[in-house]
Structure 1
Amino acid sequence: MEPPPPPPPPPPPPPPSHHCNPTSNTNSSSPSRVPTPPPHLATPPCFKCGAPTNLPPPPPPDLTSLPAYIPIRLPAVNLPPETASRTQQSIILTPVPQPHPVPPLSPPYHFITPIKRITSPSDASRFVESNSGKSFLSFVAFLSYSIRGHKISDPCPVSHTLSKIIAVLDTFSSWVDEIPPAVQSARYGNPAFRVWHERMTEHSHIFMNDILPLDQPDIRDSSIELVPYLLDSFGNASRIDYGTGHETNFAAWLYCLARLGLIHEEDYQAVVSRVFVKYLDLMRKLQLVYCLEPAGSHGVWGLDDYHFLPFVFGAAQLIDHKYMKPKSIHNDDILENFSKEYLYLSCITFIKKVKKGPFAEHSPMLDDISGVPNWNKVNSGMLKMYRAEVLEKVPVVQHFLFGSIIPWE
């Protein structure tokens, strides 16, 4: 005899009532849908069924308090052909920045807290055409000239000031090992970076006072002006991002030390091969460990998601090299054997490490530059691009600071 069939399952319980269930229509088996009213015209609808609620309507947007700056993260879009052509032509016609001595800052000193001044394209053009902008760009060109034909490991004098800076960067790097990244599923923006950045901020004045010489009391007050440049050199703690604007602030910090007479022209080779290389290693460590988001990246239409200056200095290193040409970046053996000695090759190696796919697809600009006949043209083109694509771009230089050492003219 077959067993009797199991009893039918009980009917599901009715859904819990909430404020938007209709009460007037008792014959309705399900709540009626009410069209969602336009924003700012009615009370907010229920997110479950769309019925009206008793909540007050949201306030209208305040159009009078828009930010006075352009967001630093912009979408990577292809420029129209005519715009790209004009941009390329303007870069070609721009004279190559030349190295000139840094004008020293003369006493009496009146150090102030530096502030942002650039809010529009006209402000950016005004900066690069001013004496401050030209002097800063000449300083970058001088650093590039000082490393010409030199490997990173070539011997060079390292002053007491540079030794102090290197020690500070080593300390910053050791903190990354002490502050592990937080567990998260997001691709970018590990919040542990904020812990690292907060510790760096708390100790910045101590480190800055340690770098400033004790036997020159008249410039020790300059920390009020130097610390903001240093703090803006390692990315933004709120957005957890980093880009060429932060890199430019680090170069501006070094430029301020040069104006104060703490860095001299005979130190420039070590500034690149010791200090900047150490800074670059630290930033790559921060990018990988804390997954810093690129700030203002141009996507495939930029040199790199994060950096620009190592390409300038790296191209200068390889000028008149007997064997390596710009097309040598496609030789994996050369990259493996020489990336620790040449910044340009180091950048290419790092890009190939963090980006997948054919090089010509994820880095078409660098692929095109590899067809340039010699490194001298690559270096001069990089210097002109640095002016046009970094110092004249408002999303980048809107965060540049101006005080008494780098005055706003």
Structure 2
Amino acid sequence: MAAHMPPPHLPRGRGGLFHGGIRKPQQDLPPVSLGMPVSEGHKYMVPKKEIHDIGDMEKWQRSHAFQEYLGFVLALNEAAKGKSCLDEYPVSDCTKAVISLLDCIQGWIKDIPPIEQPQRFGNQAFRTWYDKLEEKMEELLKDVIPLKVHESIPEISVYLQGSFGHRTRIDYGTGHEMFFACFLCCLFKIGALSKDDTQAAVLKVFVRYVEVVRNLVITYRMEPAGSHGVWSLDDFHFLPFVWGSAQLIGNSKLPPNSFVDEKTVALNADGYMFMASIKFISEVKSGPFCEHSNQLWNISAIPEWLKVNSGLIKMYKAEVLQKFPVMQHNMFGSLLSIMPVTKQEGDSTGTTRS
């Protein structure tokens, strides 16, 4: 890892999005929820784009999809609190199947090595990998989704396909990461996953997904989609920091200022998403940590993980879910609907489904 001490002009804990943005008044967060389960005879539909210009952002923020998605992020955040990725959790057949799917597509990376090309970034072999995923998608999901809800595959497959980057641009960012969280949310909504799967979904399945993505990024030299540069948390991911900070709540041995220590990060990367993310950043970036990751350097000055986690949730809402450049690519179907939530519906969705 690069040197950690900041130069005099970059004192820890000052400036940046985290300290500037999250202190502004925020709209209330939606209820913690794994999503409303679909009813018998539910009519599925292939998702499509609904956010075409910045004026559509209000429609998105008033939609079922917005409330259910953010409620789902909060539900997995609750499930991760105080937990290690190395602990044992209930693992259902569906959970095992998703992990097996991720193992399978990771294997394809070895089978489809980078090609020789003049461009340094965006190796075109990624498109071959991506096309193979698209070709095998239905077959893969038939092993994940119960037979009685196989009619959901055309809808759910859109989210899984979009989880691994953009085929043409060969880039990856928080919008693609969101697609995978949407994929998991849909699995809960159709009943393929249940409340008992919540911890495994975030601490086993999502962690495995991030490992696959990082392998793709390194192997095919994928570019970040819409990086904020030094003021972003990370060029590629956001949710590992949200859920990773939740894991560390109450952990007196690993306070926030510990993640700027190289040895501490190395020892704890396997158990904690936040530490694994710091490790990855330090492997792909050069120079002092406080300079290439100033936002994270600021966060290390916050005294407790509970405050870090709360701030990151608000930051995720403001910097990802409320940003048109990210959300214009989102897709809406029957499971994550663009239809507006009525006040009555908003008041009745506050319980986490079992």
Q: Same fold (TM over 0.5)?
A: yes
Residue 295 of structure 2 corresponds to residue 362 of structure 1? no
Q: C-alpha offsets along residues 157-206 of structure 1, whole Å, 9 cap, x if unaligned?
A: 11101111111100100000111101234221000101111111100011
Indicate the residue corresponding to 2:158 in structure 1: 228
277, 281, 285: which is aligned to 1:351? 281
| Counterpart contact for 2:22–2:315, Cα < 8 Å | no
| Counterpart contact for 2:269–2:279, Cα < 8 Å | yes
156-165 vs 116-125, greater mean Cα deviation: 116-125
Indicate the residue corresponding to 1:79 in structure 2: none
- Look up the equivalent residue of 2:159 and give its one-letter code: Y
Indicate the residue corresponding to 2:45 in structure 1: 112
* Equivalent position SS for 1:181: coil
| Counterpart contact for 1:229–1:250, Cα < 8 Å | yes
| Counterpart contact for 1:124–1:391, Cα < 8 Å | no
Distance 2:22 2:170 in 1: 35
Shift of residue 395, structure 1, vs aligned partner: 1.1
| Counterpart contact for 2:246–2:306, Cα < 8 Å | yes
Shift of residue 385, structure 1, vs aligned partner: 1.1
Q: C-alpha offsets along residues 83-137 of structure 1, whole Å, 9 cap, x if unaligned?
A: 9799716755344555234211113211111100012333223322333211210
Q: Residues 384 and 190 (structure 1 numbering): CA distance in 2 closer, same or farther, change over 3 Å?
A: same
Q: Residues 354 and 137 (structure 1 numbering): CA distance in 2 closer, same or farther, change over 3 Å?
A: same
Distance 1:144 1:133 in 2: 16
195, 210, 215: which is aligned to 1:280? 210
Alignment root-mean-square deviation, CA: 1.8
**Where do 5+ consecutive residues of structure 2 fail to align?**
1-15, 340-354
The correspondence of residues 176-215 of structure 1 with structure 2, limited to 5 A, is 176-214=109-147
- Where is the helix percentage greater, Structure 1 or Structure 2? 2
State the TM-score, normalized to the length of structure 2: 0.88
Residue 189 of structure 2 corresponds to residue 256 of structure 1? no
Distance 1:84 1:330 in 2: 19
| Counterpart contact for 2:64–2:337, Cα < 8 Å | no
| Counterpart contact for 1:335–1:346, Cα < 8 Å | yes
Q: Residues 327 and 125 (structure 1 numbering): CA distance in 2 closer, same or farther, change over 3 Å?
A: farther
| Counterpart contact for 2:172–2:223, Cα < 8 Å | yes
Shift of residue 208, structure 1, vs aligned partner: 1.2
Distance 1:182 1:85 in 2: 39
* Equivalent position SS for 2:249: coil
Q: Residues 114 and 101 (structure 1 numbering): CA distance in 2 closer, same or farther, change over 3 Å?
A: closer
Q: Residues 375 and 286 (structure 1 numbering): CA distance in 2 closer, same or farther, change over 3 Å?
A: same
Distance 2:61 2:294 in 1: 28
Residue 89 of structure 2 corresponds to residue 156 of structure 1? yes
270, 278, 285: which is aligned to 2:200? 270
Distance 2:309 2:201 in 1: 18
Indicate the residue corresponding to 1:72 in structure 2: none
- Look up the equivalent residue of 1:408 and give its one-letter code: I
| Counterpart contact for 1:96–1:381, Cα < 8 Å | no
| Counterpart contact for 1:176–1:286, Cα < 8 Å | yes
Q: Residues 177 and 347 (structure 1 numbering): CA distance in 2 closer, same or farther, change over 3 Å?
A: same
* Equivalent position SS for 1:300: helix
Residue 76 of structure 2 corresponds to residue 139 of structure 1? no
Distance 2:325 2:67 in 1: 20
* Equivalent position SS for 1:327: helix
Residue 247 of structure 2 corresponds to residue 317 of structure 1? yes
| Counterpart contact for 1:124–1:394, Cα < 8 Å | yes
| Counterpart contact for 1:95–1:384, Cα < 8 Å | no
Distance 1:91 1:396 in 2: 21
Q: Residues 378 and 231 (structure 1 numbering): CA distance in 2 closer, same or farther, change over 3 Å?
A: same
Indicate the residue corresponding to 1:380 in structure 2: 310
208, 222, 231: which is aligned to 1:301? 231
- Look up the equivalent residue of 2:319 and give its one-letter code: E
Indicate the residue corresponding to 2:62 in structure 1: 129
172, 175, 184: which is aligned to 1:245? 175
* Equivalent position SS for 2:143: helix
Q: C-alpha offsets along residues 213-241 of structure 1, whole Å, 9 cap, x if unaligned?
A: 12x2xx21111111111111110111111
| Counterpart contact for 2:21–2:315, Cα < 8 Å | no
Paired positions, count: 324
Residue 51 of structure 2 corresponds to residue 102 of structure 1? no
* Equivalent position SS for 1:93: coil
Distance 2:141 2:320 in 1: 27
Q: Residues 378 and 98 (structure 1 numbering): CA distance in 2 closer, same or farther, change over 3 Å?
A: farther
285-294 vs 221-230, greater mean Cα deviation: 221-230
85-94 vs 379-388, greater mean Cα deviation: 85-94
* Equivalent position SS for 1:261: coil
Indicate the residue corresponding to 1:22 in structure 2: none
- Look up the equivalent residue of 1:250 and give its one-letter code: F
Distance 1:372 1:351 in 2: 20
Distance 1:319 1:98 in 2: 20
Q: Residues 407 and 104 (structure 1 numbering): CA distance in 2 closer, same or farther, change over 3 Å?
A: same
State the TM-score, normalized to the length of structure 1: 0.76
Shift of residue 263, structure 1, vs aligned partner: 1.2
Distance 1:91 1:365 in 2: 17
